Structure 1
Amino acid sequence: MSHQHKESQRVEIYGGTGGPGGPGSGGGRGGDGYGPTLKVEAGTVHIVINHESKEIPRIEFLNWLSPINFFLRQEDILRVWQEGTGEWLLADSRFQAWKTGSRRTLWCHGIPGAGKTVLASIIVKHLSDECEKNKTLGVACIYLNHKEADNQTPPKLLAALWRQLVYGRDISSIAKNIYTQHQEKGTTPSLKEVLEVLRSSLEEFSKVFVVVDAIDEYPEVQRPQLLQYLAAIGSNINLIITSRPHIYPEPSFPNLETLDICATSEDIRKYVEAQISLSPRLLKHIQSLPELEEVIHSTINSQSVDGMFLLPKLHIESLSTKGTIKAVREALKTLPKNLHDSYDIVMQRIEGQSEEDRTIAHSTITWVANAKRPLTVQELQVALAVEPGTQQLDNENLMSIDTILSVCAGLVIVDKQLSVVRLVHYTTQEYLNSIQAQKFPDAQTEITRTLFTFLTFDGFPDQSWSNRGAILPPLVEYSQYCLVHAAGEHEGQLKDMITEFSGRAVQWKQTMNEENLYTERKWDSPPWNYPDWPSQPSALWIAAAANLVETTKSLLQGAPLLQDSASQEIVIASYYGYAEIICILVEKGANINAPWRHHGSLLEAAAYGGHTKIVHTLLDTGADANAGGWSPLQAAAFLGRTEIVHILLEKGANINLSGGEYGNALQTAANGGHTEIVRILLDKGANVNAAGGRYGSSLQAAAANGNAEIVCILLDKGANVNAAGGRYGSSLQAAAANGKGEIVHILVDKGATVNAAGGEYGSSLQAAAAEGYEKIACFLVERSADINEAEGEYGSLLQAASYRGQAEIVRSLIKKGVNVNTAGGEYGSPLKAAAYNGHTKIVRILVEHGANVNEASGEYGSLLQAATYKGQTEIVCILVENGANVNAAGGKYGSSLWVAAFCGHTKIVDILLTKGVEIHAAGEHYGTLLHVAAWMGHTETVCILLEKGADVNVPVEHYGTLLQAAAWMGRTEIVQILLEKGANINATGGQYGTALEIATKQGYNKIVSMLLKRKMKEMSSLMPQLWEDYRQ
């Protein structure tokens, strides 16, 4: 093989199928293929065999788009379900009507402890069984938890619904495209993108049941937004929600019905039986006195439970501590009739333990009740083992989780599926909150000291933690909340520790937000997720970033007025909504119009974050209502901050100020689907036809995002239905490209021009065809859309449909007489578009209807060569069977057979050789076909070429023979094949000696052994003749 090239050149060959290029004439290049890479540069050939697939594993994709997995929570809840309970709800006529009806909402109220969460899991299980029988039905659930509110954002919760619905099904191209867009940036999907993915999944079902448990545990400020999205995600949704009685249903929910949840006496009896069976002491008492069981049942059921499961659980745990039957009887006489009194008794049991056990219980309850998210078992164990003033963890101080649970009297449990520690019930949290000031006054101080001590351990932080395979010490990830726990009245007690940690905070920020660190390990809570950390943050900056009010006051006490150097402190305080910090800084002279590169101004940052109080404060102290990259008004409109929109308009914000991604506030609101804000802006004089921004107009933004109500509002206010501009060129194309059939009908009925040219797809018809929206395409054709138009990146409607794999649309167009060989567009012809993207069915359709199989194909020379390169065996067969020239030369790779040998597509090699292709033909860089197959390590291809007559001893430049070249490359299997086919082991040509000498120098011991055995075999066969010659 020659390493010398007369001309200066560089060629890169990527194995596998490359990604599509960007749109339009200025589109980006396609993504690299997934196979080997060959780079040929002036004077040398570099071969990089990269077999790592760029196809993201399914589970990694699911975890990226949907980090919350409710499958595990569902299983864990079902573990505590006593089989046979809850059947009353499934038989209730209101539940049955909800299940069989269309687009219905059932809102289930229940008092604390009534078993709402377990009933929700029973419903999910029941519906899942139904879905197994009928694959057109879907079911998904959400279990809300106030401890996880920071993580349970609307985008993540909606993505969790998608994750459940896609179980056992293919992931849509929409979802994959969103992943591709975010992968290189390292960003996460927006709410709008999550909704798009979820809605595409919902379309696969005739009906989807969505069960949402404990909506009352969701933050009150965010609750309306979540409910709004749940009510509007799809017309095929049947929604069931559980909550406490004080939460009232939204009237906007369709076909709303309510149902009260209350544990029945029969269910409570079954539950008590199950709890008794778990108590060895009670079972022993009942064995001695069988009637005691009925006494327990009747007392618990008749006197104290009030429709709750939780009270019986606490009662049985209390009775299980009694050592005699008499003690059980006495306890039954004084059973508490409410949860608070029951918890008081539990706390009395904890206080009655030994001092050591009591201390462990207090520390455990302190951590579990005050943790900012559920702790893992290991995190809790380490937290309890950290000793003040130490520099490392003493493993002998670690306790087993059984020991920890045993001293907590049932208040703390382990979620075995997720391996996290929880309080037994959310009412337990409420009870502990009510007694914290009395029983646990130093809870936050204790936790903070533990975390700060842990973070100063020797060797922390360790840069090696950023390695993908590294194992982080337990509690490292949770320690990001150290500053959150530090904030409050107890800051003064922690002054020295806060000061010491402030000096090391940036080091922890850098380590725990390394690019290579797994997302779930990163410190992604405030202040660590702030995007604009200084390289050397001051103690004041850390205090402002962490909302350390007392520390901020202390640092500023006696200090002169702040200058511009303090602008970053007030910026981050505005970003997170720390009103008290802002007031302190403003009093000290901080600049309220300080710029920030991400949100332009403090006011914009506060508006974006929804911090109403801070918006008021900033405006009242003279902040510019129109300052920023976006305007503050756009920032508020983007996330539907209605109250802030009102405030800004009252303070004189320019309603038509242009700029930013969406051009103006109206387009921003239309893009986000915020109907109320759209109405407010229009009523206040927003220009309905203002041009600019991503979509060109507010109407196009609303059309693209499928909000029919906003589309109608804008049209009623005089929006130009044919306004040109933006990504899609027109509102009609925007609706067609995104499959918004209802809006397509509205726009056409309002006079939209169906053949308007321009935009990403060239026309609305091409947009619908390219994205596979057949009904929309047919509708547009019925309304006189031109099926022979030659616009856009695909050049023709047929090429667009072929590229996207829309077989039925292709058939329909051909029936209507469209020319299958229409030239133009990105791929040159419909056949190329289909073949390049592996759409075998469409290739067959086009060829059957006269598509030219021998048209030239750019860098590949021919369509056959291109299909060969991509390993599309079936398409190769179709082309060959229909007259493709198998010997056609040209393109980057010379011939189809050479490409097949290079890529190791053995089946295609066999097909082409069967059709009479010359087996001894030489390529530009590797010589013969046998050379290239051997060089690339394609063992099967080498075998078939030798079987078909390739010369095993043909000369190879630089190496002498192929055997010598294979020895140089360490191709053990190929060396074996060549020896079996009679390769000359003694060949001496080339620069590196014989094959044996080469393998010895390279250190390939297996090849050396193979060659020596062959050498000895040859010598042994020659010995009789040599002996005879010697004698003579």
Structure 2
Amino acid sequence: MDGVSAASGIAGLITLALQVSGTIAIYVKSIRERSKNVQELHDELLLLGEVLSGLRDFLASEQAKGRSFDNNSVLQKAITDCRDRIERIGDKLKPPDNSTRVSRALDKLRWPFEQREVNQMIENLRRYGQTFHFAVTIEGCNLLSKTSEDATKGLREMLGVSKKISELSAQMGLSAEESSKRASQIQQIMALIPMLAKTAVDMNELSHAARLAEVREQEKRITDILDWLAPVSWLHKHRDLQVKRAKGTGEWFLHHQVFKDWAGDDAAEHDLLCVGGPGAGKSILCSLAVDHLRARYQDKEVAVAYYYYDYSDQQLQSPVNLARSLLRQLSSNRHLVPSSVTEFYERTRNDIKDETWFQDLLGILRRVAATFTRFLILVDALDEADIRSQRSGLFEVLSALRSPSGTRVQVMATMRSHVLSVATRFHNAVTMDVTADLGDLRLFLTQVIGEHPDSVDTLDGDLRKQVLNTLCDNANGMFLLPALQIRTILDQITKSDVRRALSRLSTNLNEAFQSTIQRIRNLPKTRRDLALNALMWISHARRPFRPLELQQAMALRLDDADLDRDNFPPIITIIDCCCGLVEVDHESSIIRLVHHSLEEYLRDHNHGLFEDANLYITRICLRYLKLESLRELPFKNRHDFALVLEDMPFLEYAALEWGHHAYDVPTGRFGGLALSLLSDSLALITSARVRDHHNVDFRRWKEKAWAWAYSGGAGILIAAAFGLTELLKVLINENKDNLCLDARNMYGSTPLHEAALHGHESAAEVLIEHGADLVDVDYGSATPLFLAVSYGKLSMVRLLLEHGGPQLETPGPQGLSTLHKAAEQGNEEMVTTLLRAGALVAARDMYGMTALHFAARRGYLGIARLLVQAGAFVHVKDNDGLCPLDYAATGGYTDLVAYLLENGGNMWHKGREAWTPLHRAARGGHTQTVSMFLDRAADVLTADFKGNIPLHLAVRSGNMATVRVLLEHNPDFKRDQLFTRDKKGSTPRVVAFYTAHYDIHRNLRAAEWAVSGTEPGEASILTSAIERGDLSAVRAHLNIHQDSLHMLDVDGQPPLHVALQEDRRAIIDLLLERGASIESVGYHGWRPLHIAASLGNLDLVNLCLTHGASVESLTLTSQTPLHKAASGNSAAVVRRLIEAGADPNDRNDRGMTTLHIAAHQNDIQTVRMLVLEYEMDVLTRDRHKLTPAVWAERSGHLEVMAFLRGEMKKAKTVKKIRGDDQKISGGDEHMQMQMQMQEVESALSDPDVDDDPNPSMPEDSESARVQFV
């Protein structure tokens, strides 16, 4: 490419940079709290555009005439890579294609990047800028027209010259500024070149457009999964605290020895509890510690996660959501979301409000955490967590993480002193007192004063010093108190006013709040009423409001027929009138009180401000649900309904929360409005749709919703769900002639089901007194008792059991009993209650499992003890022939295994695969459990039906420690274990080889030589040298034994294969130079390209192809290199082989195509690529008539299965239409085509069409429901 062509390419890049900088400019104006960070990125893009303009002009000039730049030149690579990176920044700033006008407007307020991402972007853009600036000279242009290797060599020489010039200048007393700048510029370019080299490899993997599309699609999928796990709004509290931190504050905390002892690399494992009074700045210090630790451990296998409890958001902060938030942060630390997380996402994504799969979630969290060597969790404001559920939930999550998982978990928690009693539940807790640091206070107050526009005139030097001294002296260890007081000071107009205000400062928070409330009372009436109304709503709401929600709530009057939009109070006026007590969190766009202490004051203090707050909120909510503009909502399609929800956001709060506000309000004070709503079928449907508007099966939901709303029992069900007992009695009395206590909502729940799952005992009593059926089942086959057990409502369970009947014997979903469910959840108190009530310990579900099976599968030793003491048989088999001991061994629960063995467990029992418990522990790599079995004389030579002894399975686990324990425990059996062959004739060493556990393979080979007393042969000596990477030894050996180049070692491998397996590049080159064949045949007919492809190593694949390797070569089982690439989970290698001529439709001995194998291996990226880009047939079947989707399902790969089933649906539709086309004879061809296309469009675009019953839902099918309350 000549200079003119390169210049024209740069012109497009300039345009792109300016477009993206223009988009960023919008954020600079709308995101004040991080505008500096955003502005810097904006400015860097503009500067880059200017540099590119200069480069464009230079390349088009006479000076650059005659120069050429091929695709491998540094300059061309830099231009291409720079364009890709800027395009990706632009893509992230665009709202989704299907977003609405309102959501697009809101997206402009949400900055999609974290600060560390922006810092990295800025750094990269500067490197590009330096590189392009360097190119605007003859010398620089010549150098950057070369390849990366040659350019780097030249740059090093130039850097050396610059440094020498700097040294000479310094010796002569001359300025070295120019040479220093030159050296800095060269270093920036040299830092960029490795990035370009990686980009060059990426470009070889994929064509330019396809790669970008794939990367963006992958990013979107990752974002979808992470946002489903925990919406990014859950993490905004941290960003908000980052913004509030004054620069330079908190350093004392990071350098405190107690914190360093906790956070250090070699610190003893313990938890740290930071205890301080209200407003001491604990949350700010927590956020500072998070950022410090993330920066410190960003390149290490250490995960850092945080969780901020918040008084205003307790409804959202359930134990499930805590686990989800931690899992999101763990998953974000990896390039790809862990497969266990994507599978969980596919299985439960439509059951977002269901918490009965909590234990599954904890298991996944534990597995993902185990991929890190250390997990640091920072928990803020534990005192703001609900005592009954949130605090106990935290310790349940921590307990799950700290169960044997291979990772080290450390917790830092901040709290007030009154909850310090929980210290015993932490691990070796060390306590640290936290008070506001005076130095930090001065920095903070100085920053606030400096940002105030009038401070220059009002506060001169001496007065400013007096203000700082007075506020710091009165702080009493608190940040919040002076933070509130400085607002009062800065509101003063004259210096005398400032001095008077200083003399009247309060000395504690309550006095400060009272003083501020008094200032509000002194406002003009309209502004006073506005402020007090806002404070009432914000302090008493069950969750935080977004500004528009608050405006709508405050605008509505009880006698309004509809919403008066002209009555919306401006948010800025609300904040101003509240005199600093209210703020808007710009990251999450919620409006909130400035501190938890203020919420406590407004709710609990005896100030008489909001005595009837809940009554007022209840009435407004009920009135809102009856607005005239909502009457047509039941008839709107989903798109239009969603638009209304965006436009009227308070609708969701009113529908879901009115009953909670009404709970402690006398029914007579709101009953009229409630009865009006509950007797209005259309209003009930609207409320139900608000709750369930994301329901995937809307058609069926709609039919059931209309039937429920007109059943005559809908109002009773809602009253029962909210626990409004007196209102429930009124409704029962009004409908006593036609009482419908069996009316079902959209999920088959009766009023008693709803009361049971929410734990409303008095409502349940009323329903039972009036004849509610205790054993009625919902659409998920759950009784009220089963739901009460599932949701942990112990008091409700006891109440229901008092009424007897066959509740305990009535089977629930999948034949589960209530005892099964309680055992599965690990609830010892619930299990005890059910056992005392007569629950059958021998009851079996549809799979033949008892409650003890469930306890063993989860590893619950305490539950197992209760069940065994109640008479449960330990040696009882399920339908697969598995006993509780099998499940405990599979999970590696050593203590539980020991208990079961002591109480009748059979160590020699064999299940369906003829595996003993030792086989299962070995397959899981559970070294401690294996060791315990060996101490009890378990048989290490017993074989399963495939001939595998435990060592074979330990090898498959890849755990070297487990392999060693089996071999070394009893030397008498070592030889027999090493040389035992399975029914395919494979020893454990051979199994290690073909499962690619090469480290285990080497150890087993050495062990075989040792017990046999044999010396390695000539070929094996060469193999060992290759494995060590000893190039000199390999060369020397080949010089003496030239024929060993083609000799096979004990594993049937020629030297080239071994070098490829070990990725020894220099040795590979040597062997090829000496004449090693790129088509040499090794173990099982593998060629070098098979090995490179199975490793997923693109460089090795390219090397093999360069030397003429055939993409059509076959192993003894007809596997092509493409099959092996699919087994190796490498989409890049798969693409490279296809581009080299490999046919993805080739079949192995089992009739499997590349798509079958990729589906079986859970490689969603390769599966999508094969289907969407290479148009592979998703309906294709192997020799056993299995489709790729069936392979995915059998392997439990739900995300792959869901994608393939969706594509199969499309393919079947198209196939059907093509078949119909062949049947059509005559007629207008154009009209036929038009009809067919309409049919395809209709079939593929209807989101309600789904023939996939999703067989892999959570074990409790009832748990798929979304409760309506």
From 628, 647, 672, give the equivalent of 2:811. 628
Partner of 2:894: 708
Q: Distance in 2 between matches of 1:264 and 1:257?
A: 20
Distance change >3 Å, CA 663–CA 55, structure 1 → 2: farther
Q: Distance in 1 between matches of 2:946 and 2:343?
A: 18
Partner of 1:291: 462
1:585 maps to 2:767: yes
Native 8 Å contact 1:765 1:777 kept in 2: yes
Q: How far 1:143 moved relative to its partner?
A: 0.9
Q: Distance in 2 between matches of 1:792 and 1:174?
A: 32
From 381, 394, 410, give the equivalent of 1:226. 394
Distance change >3 Å, CA 81–CA 905, structure 1 → 2: closer
Native 8 Å contact 2:467 2:502 kept in 1: yes
Partner of 1:265: 438
Q: How far 1:337 moved relative to its partner?
A: 2.6
Show the 5 A alignment for 1:28-427.
57-67=221-231, 71-100=235-264, 101-132=267-298, 135-171=300-336, 173-176=338-341, 178-179=343-344, 182=347, 190-222=357-389, 223-231=391-399, 233-234=401-402, 235-247=407-419, 248-281=421-454, 283-287=456-460, 290-303=461-474, 305-386=475-556, 396-427=566-597
Q: How far 1:689 moved relative to its partner?
A: 2.7
TM-score normalised to structure 2 length = 0.57
Native 8 Å contact 1:867 1:876 kept in 2: no
Distance change >3 Å, CA 631–CA 355, structure 1 → 2: same
Distance change >3 Å, CA 801–CA 309, structure 1 → 2: same
Partner of 1:688: 874
Native 8 Å contact 2:240 2:585 kept in 1: yes
Distance change >3 Å, CA 625–CA 890, structure 1 → 2: closer
Native 8 Å contact 2:615 2:661 kept in 1: no
1:473 maps to 2:473: no
Letter in 2 for 1:98: W
Q: Distance in 2 between matches of 1:889 and 1:796?
A: 20
Q: How far 1:245 moved relative to its partner?
A: 0.8
Letter in 1 for 2:433: D
Q: How far 1:209 moved relative to its partner?
A: 2.0
Deviations 1:578-613 (CA, angstroms, capped at 9, x unpaired): 112101112222233333454643222212222122
Distance change >3 Å, CA 815–CA 114, structure 1 → 2: same
**SS where residue 505 of structure 2 aligns?**
coil
Deviations 1:800-846 (CA, angstroms, capped at 9, x unpaired): 7678664545666788899xxxxxxxxxx999xxx9xx99989x999
Q: Distance in 2 between matches of 1:119 and 1:895?
A: 55
Distance change >3 Å, CA 645–CA 938, structure 1 → 2: closer
Partner of 2:678: 499
Distance change >3 Å, CA 679–CA 383, structure 1 → 2: same
Distance change >3 Å, CA 643–CA 896, structure 1 → 2: closer
Higher relative CO (Cα under 8 Å, sequence separation at least 6) belongs to 2
**SS where residue 578 of structure 2 aligns?**
coil
Q: How far 1:425 moved relative to its partner?
A: 0.7
Aligned CA-pair RMSD = 5.2
**SS where residue 432 of structure 1 aligns?**
helix
**SS where residue 271 of structure 1 aligns?**
helix
Native 8 Å contact 2:615 2:670 kept in 1: no
**SS where residue 519 of structure 2 aligns?**
helix
Show the 5 A alignment for 1:504-523.
504-506=683-685, 508-510=687-689, 513=692
Letter in 2 for 1:106: L
Native 8 Å contact 2:539 2:593 kept in 1: yes
TM-score normalised to structure 1 length = 0.69
Letter in 1 for 2:382: I
* Stretch deviating more after TM superposition (651-660 or 759-768): 759-768
1:850 maps to 2:1027: no
Partner of 2:753: 571
Runs (5+) with no aligned partner, structure 2: 1-205, 207-213, 744-748, 1010-1050, 1072-1077, 1127-1131, 1143-1171, 1176-1229, 1235-1269
Q: Distance in 2 between matches of 1:817 and 1:77?
A: 61
Distance change >3 Å, CA 652–CA 854, structure 1 → 2: closer
**SS where residue 709 of structure 1 aligns?**
helix
Q: How far 1:614 moved relative to its partner?
A: 1.2
Partner of 2:926: 740
* Stretch deviating more after TM superposition (183-192 or 335-344): 183-192
Partner of 1:552: 728
Native 8 Å contact 1:726 1:759 kept in 2: no
Distance change >3 Å, CA 210–CA 271, structure 1 → 2: same
Q: How far 1:426 moved relative to its partner?
A: 1.0
Native 8 Å contact 1:106 1:256 kept in 2: yes
Q: Distance in 1 between matches of 2:216 and 2:505?
A: 65
Q: Distance in 2 between matches of 1:732 and 1:122?
A: 48
Native 8 Å contact 2:922 2:951 kept in 1: yes
Q: Distance in 2 between matches of 1:477 and 1:830?
A: 68
1:433 maps to 2:599: no
Deviations 1:749-780 (CA, angstroms, capped at 9, x unpaired): 33444455559997655554445434334544
Q: Distance in 2 between matches of 1:895 and 1:87?
A: 56
Partner of 2:1193: none
Partner of 1:602: 784
**SS where residue 150 of structure 1 aligns?**
coil
Q: Distance in 1 between matches of 2:603 and 2:697?
A: 34
* Stretch deviating more after TM superposition (691-700 or 550-559): 691-700
Distance change >3 Å, CA 313–CA 763, structure 1 → 2: farther
**SS where residue 755 of structure 2 aligns?**
helix
Q: How far 1:240 moved relative to its partner?
A: 1.0
| Higher helix proportion (structure 1 or 2) | 2
Letter in 2 for 1:107: L
Show the 5 A alignment for 1:827-976.
850-853=1082-1085, 886=1112
Native 8 Å contact 2:283 2:380 kept in 1: yes
Letter in 2 for 1:499: L
**SS where residue 273 of structure 2 aligns?**
strand
Distance change >3 Å, CA 877–CA 486, structure 1 → 2: same
**SS where residue 647 of structure 2 aligns?**
coil
**SS where residue 565 of structure 1 aligns?**
coil
Q: How far 1:427 moved relative to its partner?
A: 1.3
Q: Distance in 2 between matches of 1:727 and 1:218?
A: 48
Native 8 Å contact 2:241 2:284 kept in 1: yes
Distance change >3 Å, CA 438–CA 252, structure 1 → 2: closer
* Stretch deviating more after TM superposition (626-635 or 181-190): 181-190
Deviations 1:683-728 (CA, angstroms, capped at 9, x unpaired): 4443333332789333333334443333333334343334333799
Q: Distance in 2 between matches of 1:517 and 1:226?
A: 31
1:618 maps to 2:800: yes
Q: Distance in 2 between matches of 1:384 and 1:449?
A: 14
Partner of 2:659: 484
Partner of 1:964: none
Q: Distance in 1 between matches of 2:296 and 2:762?
A: 53
Q: Distance in 1 between matches of 2:382 and 2:685?
A: 38
Identity of aligned residues (%): 25
Deviations 1:783-808 (CA, angstroms, capped at 9, x unpaired): 65857778799999789767866454
Q: How far 1:140 moved relative to its partner?
A: 1.5
* Stretch deviating more after TM superposition (463-472 or 728-737): 463-472
Q: How far 1:183 moved relative to its partner?
A: 6.7
* Stretch deviating more after TM superposition (335-344 or 386-395): 386-395
Native 8 Å contact 1:799 1:830 kept in 2: no
Letter in 2 for 1:607: V
**SS where residue 472 of structure 1 aligns?**
helix
Letter in 1 for 2:381: A
**SS where residue 412 of structure 2 aligns?**
strand
Q: Distance in 2 between matches of 1:560 and 1:794?
A: 78
* Stretch deviating more after TM superposition (904-913 or 661-670): 904-913
Native 8 Å contact 1:369 1:429 kept in 2: yes
